[in-house]
Every structure is written in structure tokens, then in C-alpha cells.
Structure 1
Amino acid sequence: MSDAPHGVLVVDKPPGMTSHDVVSRVRRAFRTRAVGHAGTLDPMATGVLVVAIGEATKLVPWLTADDKSYDATLRLGTATDSLDADGAVTETASVPELTRDEIRDAANAFLGPHAQRAPAVSAIKVDGVRLHARARRGEVVEPPLRDVVLHEVAIRAYEARDVELSLRCGKGFYVRSFGRDLAARLGTLGHLTALRRTASGRFDLAASVGLDALDGADLLSLPDAATRLLPPAILTEGAAEAARCGRRIHGVEGDEVAALHQGKLVAVLRRDPNDPSVHRVVRGFAPV
């Protein structure tokens, strides 16, 4: 296993590809099937797609939980069935006279936790079937409301019905739905014409590579990736061996930590809610 690649890669996804298309390209480049991504990007969207390879695929639940940051352009006055420019126009409406301050105030109304209805064309499953598959079959299904959080939003520009904005949101937030809902709050319709993810947690565009640079691309090591997600805890030899065997660990600080020994990631440990003096192994890692 030591010869196989293990680590995290930040890919700058181009438009017109699915996230799975990117995973397929990474699999070919690194000659391994053990590849996953952290947070789907729509085909139209570009930017940060965090890809986990080898043992790093075990970190995907933590990578996916990270906040995401985006730049987006919302075009007012036109709705599409997918809520973005890839969809068919379903309706048009007039756009009231708006100032940038009015748009900012409307956007700020969504700050914090709130319920959001996902797009009808999305990867969410209803009765075990993804909504985009139902949409392709012509089925009309109302997506469920989901609890999401918007941490920050800024209006960068407004000109000729196009609102340029930046935002930071939590897991499960659909920027396409936010565009629809913001347009409705402004008294009109809207859809996204551009969407670019600029960061996923501590992984941003500055550290990304294009698909044409996959061959020879350096991976962020498993320990470095884990300690970007969780505080580190250095284990003794005895504690490391106990963790590898799935036993409880004493003497560790923090509720959830990346446990290391001699520079290698051993496990993710979580404090036992029934006995705060010990930690349990949530996920173990091979000694790569």
C-alpha cells in the first residue's frame, strides 16, 4: 500500500464537466480507483473541488462538512428549470428599480440558519431517486426543505440586471436556490449565470491545479490534510497501538482530533460522550 498515492488534491474544475468527470480524470492520472470528492459542483460551476485519494478518502466526511465560499452572478428577470444558465427558460418577469443597498439588505435577510428548498434539478434523493433523474423523466417533484446556514454575503456589483455577489455558507447550501430566493425577495425572478467556488474550508484556489496539470501534481499528505480539518494529538507508542486495534484511548485533549504518531496519521478520535476521560476511534488509517 505504501507505493500507492494517498493524500488530498485541490482541482480547479472547468465548466461543462461533472464532479464525477473530474474524479474519473484523477483516477486515470494517479492510477487508482480510490478517489472521492468533497462537495459536488454543478457542471456549469467552476473552482475548488477537493479530491481525496487513497487513505485520504476516509477524510471525506470531514472535508464535506467544511464551509464553502463562492463568487456568483445572478441575472434578474428570468427563471430557468435548473436555476442556472444550463436550464431552459421557464418564465420571465419585470425587474423593479433597485439600488445596490436594497439588494444588500435583501441578501442579508438570509444570513444565519434558515430553511431552503433545493433545486428541482439536483443530486438530492427523494424516495431513493436523485431529483435530476426524476427531472429528466419529466416528473414534477417538490424538493424537501432543508436546514442550511449562510455565514456571509457581499454584493460586489449590480449592473444591467446582473448581481455579482460573494458568499460563505455551510454544508448543503445551494447557491442556485439562494439566487432564486433572493430574486423573489426583490420582487422578480432570477437564475445564476456564473458560479465559482473559491474555497472549501482551508483549501482555496491558490492551492489548486488544473486538469491539464494532474500528471506529476503533488498531493497534500494525509497527516497535513487531517490537521487542516482537526486539531492534532500526538500519541505515545502504546496509545498508537491501542488506536490501531480500535481500543479506547486515555489522556487525549479535545473533542475530536487527528491522532498522529511519528508523523503518520493513525486515527480520528472522538471523545466518548458517556465517559469524557476517554476517546474512541472514529476512523482508523493504514500506516502509509
Structure 2
Amino acid sequence: MTSPSSRSGILLIDKPPVLTSHDVVARTRRLAGTRKVGHAGTLDPLATGLLVLGVNSSTRLLTYVVGLDKEYEAVIRLGASTTTDDSEGEVIETASAAAMDSVDDARIVAGLAAQTGEVRQRPSSVSAIKVDGKRAYARVRGGETVVLDARSVTISSIDVLASEPSADPAFRDVSVRVVCSSGTYIRAIARDLGDALGVGGHLVALRRTRIGPFRIDEAHTLEEVEPERDLVAPATIADRLFTTVTLDAEQAADLRNGKRVALDRPDTAGPLAAIDPEGLLIGLVELSNGTTRVLVNFPTDTVS
């Protein structure tokens, strides 16, 4: 396989369990033959699913992917709280049989509905949020007690897919599909549902199935991915993220040389993707008074 060491583009990867997002980036660097690989949105080792990776200059597109809405499928275990709000932590409290008997599907649906909309959510203490310059999870592992401030997130929907006793009948497993804004913690949804029902809860499975327009069924596993074959061109990605405008040869040359280009179209508040006559992404621009202002430029792709 020829490595596309100087090509730019996006790879959609289906992350396996156990590996960190950094592990996936490291393996992709070796496969793609370049150090310039980054990702848009971390997944915990417990989680599986969609990672959007940028290769070479397409890492510049990741800024516009990170903030997109996301979709997850998750399994919440009711009946126990853990130190990490997921199955990787130590159990700190379990519910009585009487308390679990009071939990029915109607209460579960109502508890999840209360978490939808624009809400204030308190992130898990073992998140990657920095507290006085140090990651919260590092402080917790060092023996500190960390309680993070609640922050505003938007949870568009939480649909219950299944609700049944777990392998241990003392607990109940609730499978859900969550559509939410960037910055939402699914572990916190599990914790808060358990708290609302008075039985405790934590996350036992998590799979990210969508980031913005990118879906898990487009992704490749690390075992099957071939960057030369699977790298998605920057112009193709830009077309899915932004309104595009195709420039003529003179306009394209001017924009690449840093000149402003007049376009006969309404001004835009957000980015426009400027495409050259060969179908390559020149850069992202915004229009003011009918004239472009460059937000970010992209070098012309080359094939190694």
C-alpha cells in the first residue's frame, strides 16, 4: 500500500473499545505516513464509534467539526453509582430491592425527558476539563475531590430503545439514543437519571453513531482502513459542512495569492468553501460587501 504522506483529507474511523482516541491517532499516523493527524472530539476508552480524523492540512477543518451536534447509543445501568459515573469506576452505592421495585418505564422516560432541551449539566469529575491548569481526572486520580461547575448544553432528544433487568437482576439496563450538542456528557445523563430515580446510575456502554453529517456506517475499522483508498478529499468534506462556491481560474489564482475576490452573491456570516475549477478546496472565506475575506487557506493536494 502506498502511503498518502502528503495528501490531505478526512478519515472516518470506528474506534474499538479499550483504545484511547490518542491511540487511534497514533496508529493512523503510521498508516498514513505522516505526523499531521488530529481528531475532532475525544472518545473515552470505554466507548466505541465514530472518530473524525484530519490528515495533513485537513486538520484545519477539524475546528469546524468539533462543535457539531452528536448522536450516541448508550446503556445506562440503574441501581448503582460509581466514582467515575461509568463501569470503569468503583461502585460507591447500590440501591435496595425496594427502591429498584419502584422504578418503572414511565419513571425512566420522565427522568430522561427532564434532561432534554437547553439544560445545565454538571460534567463528570473524571472529565478532561482543566481545573487550575490540571485535568479534572488527574486530580481525582491523585486523591482530590473534584466537583465541576454545571454548564449549558442542549440535549435534543433521549429515546429509550430498551429497558430490562441486567444480567444481575439487582440492576436494570436502559438502552438509549441521545442527540445532543458538543460538550454533553453521556455519563452525566446516566448519573443524573439514577439520582432522579433515587437508585443511582452509571454508564456501561457507549457508541457514537454520528457527528454532524458524518455517520458511523461510513467509517472504517483500524484493521480495514487504507488511507490511500479511504481518505475523503477536503473539497468533499467542505461540501458537506458549508455552502460552496466554484471560482474561475483567475479568481482561484487571486484567492490563493491572498487577494480579495468579488463574488456576486449575498454576504455571509459563516464560512463559504471556495472551490477551484479542478474541484480542489482553496479555502474557507466569508463575504463582506460582496468581497471575500479568507478565514483559512488550504494548500493544493499532492499525491506521494
**TM-score, structure 2 normalization:** 0.88
CA-CA distance at 1:235 after TM superposition: 2.1
Does structure 2 retain, via aligned residues, the 8 Å contact 1:78–1:93? yes
Aligned with 1:77 (options 76, 79, 83): 79
Aligned with 2:276 (options 257, 261, 264): 261
Q: In terms of Rg, which structure is larger?
A: 2
Equivalence for 2:47: 45
Equivalence for 2:117: 112
2-side partners of 1:153 and 1:21: how far apart? 30
2-side partners of 1:67 and 1:61: how far apart? 13
Aligned with 1:228 (options 214, 232, 240): 240
* Closer, same or farther: CA 62–187 of 1 in aligned 2, 3 Å: same
Equivalence for 1:10: 12
Give deviations 1:12-60, integer Å, cap 9, x for gaps: 1110011000000000111100100111000000011111111110001
Deviates more, 1:62-71 or 1:215-224: 215-224
Deviates more, 1:99-108 or 1:50-59: 99-108
Aligned with 1:100 (options 79, 96, 105): 105
- Give the alignment of 1:198-237 within 5 angstroms: 198-215=209-226, 217-237=229-249
1-side partners of 2:7 and 2:29: how far apart? 11
CA-CA distance at 1:226 after TM superposition: 1.3
* Closer, same or farther: CA 250–191 of 1 in aligned 2, 3 Å: same
Equivalence for 2:168: none
SS at structure 1 position matched to 2:125: coil
Q: Which amino acid aligns with 2:141?
A: R
2-side partners of 1:89 and 1:193: how far apart? 12
SS at structure 2 position matched to 1:11: strand
Seq. identity, %: 39
Q: Would you tell me which structure has more strand in proportion to its own residues?
A: 1
Q: Which amino acid aligns with 1:266?
A: I
SS at structure 1 position matched to 2:223: helix
Does structure 2 retain, via aligned residues, the 8 Å contact 1:246–1:280? no
2:196 counterpart of 1:180: no
**TM-score, structure 1 normalization:** 0.93
Q: Which amino acid aligns with 2:118?
A: P
* Closer, same or farther: CA 28–109 of 1 in aligned 2, 3 Å: same
CA-CA distance at 1:96 after TM superposition: 4.7
Give deviations 1:239-274, integer Å, cap 9, x for gaps: 333432444443244432111112111111124xxx
Q: Which amino acid aligns with 1:112?
A: G
2:141 counterpart of 1:129: no
Does structure 2 retain, via aligned residues, the 8 Å contact 1:106–1:186? yes
In the alignment, structure 1 segments of 5+ residues that lack a partner are none
Aligned with 2:63 (options 54, 61, 64): 61
2-side partners of 1:219 and 1:142: how far apart? 41
Does structure 2 retain, via aligned residues, the 8 Å contact 1:96–1:188? no
2-side partners of 1:114 and 1:72: how far apart? 19
Q: How many residues align?
A: 284
Does structure 2 retain, via aligned residues, the 8 Å contact 1:242–1:248? yes
* Closer, same or farther: CA 267–187 of 1 in aligned 2, 3 Å: same
Equivalence for 1:283: 296
CA-CA distance at 1:219 after TM superposition: 0.9
Q: Which amino acid aligns with 1:287?
A: T
Equivalence for 1:168: 179
Q: Which amino acid aligns with 2:25?
A: V
1-side partners of 2:252 and 2:106: how far apart? 56
